[in-house]
Amino acid sequence: MAQTQKQHKSGIVRFKAGEVLFNQNDPADSLYIIQKGQIRLYIPKGQGFVEIAILRAGEVIGEMAYFDEKGSRRSCSAAAIVPTDVVRVTFAAFDKTMQGLNPWFKTIVNTLADRLRKTNDRVKQLETNSVGFGKDGKVGEYVFFHTTDVLRILAGIYLSSKVHAQKGKDGAHRIHMNSIRYYLFDIFGVAEIKFEEMIELLKREGLIIMEPDKDGQEKLVKIPDLDSFRLIVAYVNGEKVKTDDKKTKTTRKCNMILARMKAQLLAKNVTSGKASVNLSAIIDDLKEGQAIVNSGDLKPAIVSGIVEDILVDDQGNMTNMVNVDSLFKILPGLVFQDAWQRINEEKSGNSY
């Protein structure tokens, strides 16, 4: 059972982001009242998940198992999206409260709960998983973030920021989360679970920073570099229309080398055209930082035309000619693409 060490008695329980409260079919002995944070409800299916809902502060989770006459098993799984505090109420404690109710009121509560469970069961039967499709329409691996999902969310954030964001003296743009949510939910029709996961990813990648609004709540979204954000949107949009054999595919190690190339070029005030970089120095620098890389890791960038073939002089020093405009334009998108693909890999591997 998930988190058995946290399931002993009633009281406040804290869960880290990604931590599982319980898994589907676990024996149930308690319900939870969310004090702070967000919890996703989902059902494992094949290599992926069916997303059910997102619950927030003030909502209750796990109460249906109390009314289940089939053995009190969890009907779905639950995991914290962000650091979350809940009040755990054991069924034994809850039962004492129920026993104190008038018999007719208890009957009403049980009847409503039974109807709700039957409705939930029907909904689950209609739920479909988010899967990718391979050639000839064959079902592929589970995919949480499709390219179209990423594009809709990023484009919605960028467009809402262009219209509503205020640019500060620090050069960053700030927009209230409510404005972004309006664009994403009411206009773009984005699934809430994917929106919340994307916001967490953008925060981890440093593309957005949450700040207090005028009411002291962390709902003000700071975008440090809106132009880089635009480049990512443009990159994702360009990749969306490509066939699989034409898509730009790099690795994290390749991106690390490309990022050092960009830094080396900026140090020389080179921002356009073609220029040579010292590949040997970059690899040595990365190895000093405990990154295991070699010249072979640059192959995807060579295939994509971002850099030219590696040149080696008589002393064994390696250099590259770089398409500077292409590198500066595409690198933000490559880095973010790697980040969201790692999310897909984690979810397809049932990391939750």
Per-residue pLDDT tens digits for 8-27: 567 889 999 989 999 988 88
Mean pLDDT of the region 289-312: 90
Mean pLDDT of the region 299-306: 92
Most confident among 87-96, 239-248, 264-273 (mean pLDDT): 264-273
Tell whether the model's pLDDT for residue 69 goes beyond 60: no
- Identify whether the C-beta of residue 27 lies closer than 8 Å to the C-beta of residue 66: no
High-pLDDT (> 70) share of the chain, %: 82
Tell whether the model's pLDDT for residue 251 goes beyond 80: yes
Fold of 252-348: Arc Repressor Mutant, subunit A (1.10.10)
**Is 104 or 221 the better-scoring residue by pLDDT?**
221
Tell me if 147-246 shares its fold with 252-348. yes
Q: What is the pLDDT of residue 57?
A: 87
Q: How far is CA 45 from CA 23, 51, 141, 270, in A?
A: 13, 10, 12, 50
What is the residue-averaged pLDDT of the chain?
Answer: 83
Fold of 4-126: Jelly Rolls (2.60.120)
**Is 94 or 36 the better-scoring residue by pLDDT?**
36
Tell whether the model's pLDDT for residue 172 goes beyond 70: yes
d(CA 12, CA 103): 30
Report the 10 Å Cβ neighbour count for 115.
10
For 55, phi and psi rounded to 5 degrees? -110, 150
Q: Point out the least confidently predicted range of 77-81, 131-135, 341-345.
A: 131-135
Residue with tokens 């989902």: 42
| Torsion angle of the four alpha carbons 62, 195, 198, 163, in this order, in degrees rounded to the nearest 10 | -150
Q: How far is CA 100 from CA 89, 93, 96, 104, in A?
A: 16, 11, 7, 12
Q: What is the pLDDT of residue 317?
A: 92
Q: Point out the least confidently predicted range of 152-161, 220-229, 235-244, 263-272.
A: 235-244
CB-based contacts of 172, cutoff 8 Å, min separation 6: 222, 223, 224, 225, 226
Give bridge partners of residue 258 from the DSSP assignment. Answer: none
High-pLDDT (> 90) share of the chain, %: 45
Nearest to 127 by CA among 63, 181, 51: 51
**Is 108 or 30 the better-scoring residue by pLDDT?**
30
- Identify whether the C-beta of residue 2 lies closer than 8 Å to the C-beta of residue 22: yes
Q: Residue count of the chain, please give it.
A: 352
Listed by start position, the domains of the chain span: 4-126, 147-246, 252-348
Tell whether the model's pLDDT for residue 272 goes beyond 80: yes
Most confident among 95-99, 143-147, 274-278 (mean pLDDT): 274-278
Q: What is the pLDDT of residue 49?
A: 74
Tell whether the model's pLDDT for residue 3 goes beyond 70: no
Nearest to 333 by CA among 208, 230, 209, 206: 230
Q: What is the pLDDT of residue 54?
A: 85
**Is 334 or 192 the better-scoring residue by pLDDT?**
334
Sign of the Cα pseudo-torsion (45, 50, 54, 55, in order): negative
Per-residue pLDDT tens digits for 129-153: 454 444 444 444 667 888 888 988 9
Fold of 147-246: Arc Repressor Mutant, subunit A (1.10.10)
Give bridge partners of residue 277 from the DSSP assignment. Answer: 320
Q: What is the pLDDT of residue 139?
A: 43
